[in-house]
Amino acid sequence: MSIGLTGLEGKIALVTGAGRMRSIGRPIAVALAKAGCHVALTGTGRPPERYPEDEQAADWRDIESVAEEIRALGRRALAVVSDVSKADAVEALLARVSAELGGVDVLANNAGSSRGSDRVPIVDLGIEEWHRVIATNLHGTFYMSRACAQRMVAQGRGGSIVNISSLYARLLSAETGVYTASKLAVNALSTVMAAELGPHGIRVNAVCPGMIDTSRHDDIRHGELWEGIVKTFVPLGRAGTGEDIANMVAFLCSDQGAWITGQHIYIDGGHNFTPRR
């Protein structure tokens, strides 16, 4: 998407969950920078010992490495360690972004809970795990959307919010109860906010990725289970990439997406409920 056609030149974008090298957040941040945005990036400040092997080998530095990529494109970048599940941290983040970059025009809510012991039947799901997933996926999306929308309304120049949801909001798979519930709620929140914020020129959409090849899936990536699901259910015959999601986010935030709001857009290679023959 070439600069000059996007309407994003000089706009301020805020991307959460942007610190991983193989991810969705990093490509979103880079795509928005290529489209013309200055970008604020957040991550939780993972300790290096928790980095995947390829990040350690590349001397990866989380959101600071992504910020360097954005600056190399000629854009301003602000990297802030923050926890979207805490309302006071979100307010502090927005205050800093507004002070240092001049407001916010685009929000990409990408931060998500890590895959853990939540992938179990509801009857076996620990209360702590329920709260852990909801805190980031739903509360964090609400805190960020609310704080950014307040500033967008006050600025009076419109804006765009894209919430990263999931294919699970449509699959409703067993043993994904809290994750699926959180993403269905994100979809609902997106549509309600779109109705409320439309009169202010602010658009809100949810993008729902299918199987994306990121470091979050390294425990099953390229194994028999992963390859079997792709072969059986994905007509395009491959897992998605972070760039596949980033392209849609940049489009929705651009002038080309100016009449799109309140939608749940599935980017999943045509993931089908019926197994392929």
2 carries an active-site annotation? no
Among candidate residues 23, 65, 113, 183, the one labeled active-site is 183
Gap between the Cα atoms of 77 and 264, Å rounded:
29
Which amino acid, 44? T
266 carries an active-site annotation? no
User: Quick one: the chain helix, strand, coil %, rounded to 5?
Assistant: 45, 15, 40
Gap between the Cα atoms of 72 and 242, Å rounded:
20
Which amino acid, 61? R
Gap between the Cα atoms of 24 and 167, Å rounded:
14
Among candidate residues 51, 143, 168, 179, the one labeled active-site is 179
166 carries an active-site annotation? yes
Among candidate residues 85, 113, 166, 254, the one labeled active-site is 166
Gap between the Cα atoms of 14 and 80, Å rounded:
10
Distances (CA, A) of 265 to 59, 89, 163, 197: 35, 29, 10, 19
The residue assigned the tokens 């390829």 is 54
Q: Determine the Cα angle at 257 with ends 169 and 87, to 5°.
A: 55
Closest C-alpha to 113, from 143, 146, 81, 135? 135
Supply the residues annotated as catalytic: 166, 179, 183
